[in-house]
Structure 1
Amino acid sequence: MLSIIIINFKSAELIYNCIQSIKNETAKINYEIIVVDNSHDEDGARLVTQKFPEVIWLNMGYNAGFARANNKGIQIAKGETILLLNPDTININNSIERTYLEFTASKYVACGVQLLNEDLSPQISGNFAMKGGLNYLLPLPYIGNLLKWIGAQLKVKKPNIPQATSLVEVDWINGAFLMVKKNIIEKAGLLDEDFFLYAEEAEWCGRLQKQGQLCIYGNCQIMHLQGETANDAFNSEGKGYYNLYDRKGLQIMVSNFVRIRKQFGLFWFFFDLLIYTFSIPVFFVVGFLHHIFVLQNPFKHFPKAAKFSSNIFYLWRLAPKILSNKPHFYKVL
């Protein structure tokens, strides 16, 4: 049996469409759907459960984030296989059923699928762990582009798979679609509840990988309307993890550094934090020169750079708590 866990945060209409897409195609396997509500959405609960009365709807009572809400669902799940599924996903080409049948017969402990944008272009679905979390330096303004250029010259392996077309073994899987065998969760542990949002699936996959190999099934695809619910929650824009300039960016930074401390240790935490700090004057100065060179207002990027700096200073204030490695809920929303 497959237990599908979906987290709700004011996204009932997306969940309705997601569940309908599952119902339309999933006929050959037994499954249950558990919705864990982080927003006490009574109207959303009625919308979904009136149409799909078999859905289990759990109310967390507060915005518990990704890890805590999924853990609640896992703890009551009846299936021997768990699927963490984003609300902003659409099951296409019977991919959930096909993935479940292939995965449960395999040696793999966790798997993902090829995620697609609404226009069916590919999203990054599988990733490789880089020593010390160095991939988190890539979104930095100007420094990130320099590091990408150096990596290309040295032919360094990319930290992700732009598109999987067949089975590919990976180190961690995008949490929008993450299928795991329950007996492996019992050995590796649940998601780390210090995380509110972002990086928790990467840290979890690091522990899951100690029990066996992870993979992406490139022959199965799920449509993912990337970042829709998170952008609404944070009043943010943009997709992916390259926006480090607002509250969503702050949450991304904090979560990434919590993962670095937990998974890679003190040295890499300080190393990456110092690079982030050094990027502040680089952003101001190089940005100033760049805008002069392209005949634009040289102060155009200053508001963005100021917000970026503020986020890094906030991260420094949290550093002692992160370094202590004691339980703490790192939520900035």
Structure 2
Amino acid sequence: MLQSASDPTITNGKPGEPPLVSVMLVNWNTREMTLDCLRTVYEQTREVPFEVILVDNGSHDGSAEAIAAEFPQVVLMAETENHGFAIATNISVERARGRYVLLLNTDTLVLDGAIDKLLAFARERPEAKIWGGRTLFEDHTLNPFSCWGRVTPWSAFCQAFGLNAVFRNSELFNSESYGGWKRDYEREVDIVQGSFFLIEKAFWDELGGFDPAFFMYGEEADLCVRATRYGAAPRMTPTATIVHFGGKSATKKANKLVYILGSRNGMIERYFPQGWVGFGKAMTAAWAFTRSIAYPAASLIAPRFKESAACWKEVWRRRNEWRNGPLQRATKG
């Protein structure tokens, strides 16, 4: 295993000063984006002492070597296999020395002191126990996926039959996306996305970290729901903002959707009321099936739908992979 920053006292603060926050990243074949992300972490975080711990999940694009060369201060754990996000994060958090742990995706850019501001927000709202910020797309328009509402029988029905899209700005019909909320004011949320996710390490340890059953997608949703049982009330602030490009480790859209649908069914199995699990999983299947029919039909009229048609046809063809819950490591890649 290639490692750097063997000196455990290295932080961005004074010599020997322990970090207040440990910034955790998991890289898989996103070398240039990861380097850009790290540059913004060090450029934009000036007020709080921090360390960076990065797990490379067996990348074959030279990521580990490039990171070690440009950022020798990073604690680099270069693995020989792709553990997935959940397991890799758990491995890295074991080495964290900060009071707080910040999960940060490698396909992000830190803007305007966002890490400093998120730490300040956590100190103002300690009762939340989990904190997140606002994310933007590459063109700096709103990326609403920094947080969302948990799946319920009603939201699953709305998703399956497109009511969330027809009534996009309604929190009744589009509850998982919080309707038309622009993420422009602070509020309590159900789920904080793992791309910019702050938690105290002691609370992380109490929860047992991510459930490794979630190889990719859904791990933060599971953690947040479990956290609420321990008194957490996750909150989001618009003052801490990052760019999140999104999906750069899922090189094929159909693969990403297969993971998402599997994780969604995993959440349904675990957290739906007794008697509603079958309904919830049927709604997941209906979501995929209706789109596998609708997009090919639409593509006959409008060629722009051909890519989506092919994607959803493949997702439906692969339904045995996601129908019973999260995908396991045997199907990674």
What TM-score results when the alignment is normalised by the length of structure 2? 0.81
Q: Cα offset for 1:228?
A: 1.8
1:69-80 mapped onto 2 (5 Å cutoff): 69-80=88-99
CA distance in 2, matches of 1:300, 1:196: 26
Contact 1:123 1:163 in 2 (8 A): no
Counterpart selection for 2:322 from 312, 315, 321: 315
Structure 1 CA distance, aligned partners of 2:272 and 2:313?
29
Match of 2:279?
271
Superposition deviation, residue 152 in structure 1:
7.1
Total equivalences in the alignment: 309
Distance (Å, rounded) in 1 between the aligned partners of 2:125 and 2:187: 13
248, 253, 260: which one pairs with 2:261?
253
| Structure-1 residue corresponding to 2:152 | 131
Q: Aligned partners of 1:189 and 1:30: how far apart in 2? A: 25
Q: Which moved more, 1:267-276 or 1:247-256?
A: 267-276
Structure 2 match to 1:100: 119
Aligned twin of 2:197: 178
SS in 1 for 2:62: helix
Deviation at 1:215, TM superposition (A): 0.6
Q: Is the 8 A contact 2:37 2:110 kept in 1?
A: yes
Contact 2:259–2:322 (CA<8 Å) still a contact in 1?
A: no
Aligned pair 1:216/2:236, yes or no? yes
What is the rounded CA distance, in whole Å, between the counterparts of 1:80 and 1:195 in structure 2? 25
Could you tell me which amino acid in structure 2 is paired with residue 47 of structure 1? A
Q: Secondary structure of 2:250's partner?
A: helix
Residue by residue, what CA displacement relative to the aligned partner does 1:238-274 show, whole Å, maximum 9, x if unpaired?
A: xxxxxxxx22221221122122212226643321232
Greater CA drift, 110-119 or 161-170? 161-170
Unmatched 5+ stretches in structure 2: 1-19
For the 8 Å contact 2:299–2:309, the answer to whether it is kept is no
**8 Å CA contact 1:168, 1:215 repeated in 2:** yes
Is 2:129 the partner of 1:115?
Answer: no
Secondary structure of 2:72 counterpart: coil
1:17 partnered with 2:11: no
Structure 1 CA distance, aligned partners of 2:99 and 2:53?
14
Contact 2:186 2:235 in 1 (8 A): yes
**Worse overlay, 159-168 or 2-11:** 159-168
- Which digits, 9 at most, give the CA deviation of each residue in 1:177-231, with x for residues without a partner? 0010112112222100011101111111111222321111112210111212222
Mapping of residues 185-224 of structure 1, within 5 Å: 185-210=204-229, 211-224=231-244
CA shift for structure 1 position 116 = 0.6
Over 3 Å counting, the alpha-carbon distance change for 1:287 and 1:39 in structure 2 is closer
Q: Residue 31 of structure 2 contacts residue 61 of structure 2 at CA under 8 Å; is this kept in 1?
A: no
TM (normalized to structure 1)?
0.81
Q: Is the alpha carbon distance of 1:154 and 1:216 closer, same or farther for their aligned partners in structure 2, counting shifts above 3 Å?
A: closer
Query: Is 1:169 aligned to 2:169, yes or no?
Result: no
8 Å CA contact 2:134–2:239 kept in 1: the answer is yes
In the alignment, structure 1 segments of 5+ residues that lack a partner are 238-245
Q: 1:33 is matched with which residue: 52, 59, 75?
A: 52
Give the counterpart letter for 2:189 in structure 1. V
Whose helix fraction is larger, Structure 1's or Structure 2's? 1
Cα distance in 2 between the residues matched to 1:24 and 1:280: 43
Tell me the distance in 2 between the aligned counterparts of 1:154 and 1:81: 32
Between the aligned partners of 1:178 and 1:209, the Cα distance in structure 2 is 15
Q: Residues 203, 281 of structure 1: CA spacing in aligned structure 2 closer, same or farther, 3 A cutoff?
A: closer
1:260/1:48 CA distance change after superposition, 3 Å: same
Q: Partner residue of 2:245?
A: 225
Q: Secondary structure of the equivalent of 1:76?
A: coil
2:186, 2:239 → 1: CA distance?
A: 7
Query: Which residue of 2 is the match for residue 242 of structure 1?
Result: none
Q: CA deviation at 1:88?
A: 0.8
Q: CA deviation at 1:153?
A: 8.1
Q: CA–CA distance in 1 between the matches of 2:172 and 2:284?
A: 24
Where does 1:49-64 land on structure 2 (aligned, <5 Å)?
49-64=68-83
Inter-CA distance 102–58: structure 2 relative to 1 (3 Å threshold): same
Cα 1:222–1:138 change in 2 (3 A) is farther
Q: Over residues 74-113 of structure 1, what are the superposed CA-to-partner deviations in whole Å (9 max), with x where a residue is unaligned?
A: 1110001000000011111111112112313432201110
Structure 2 residue identity aligned to 1:122 = L
CA contact (8 A) 1:255 1:330 kept: no
What is the alpha-carbon distance in structure 1 between the residues aligned to residue 296 and residue 50 of structure 2? Answer: 56
Secondary structure in structure 2 of the residue aligned to 1:230 = coil
Q: Percent same amino acid among aligned pairs?
A: 20
Return the offset for 1:286.
5.5
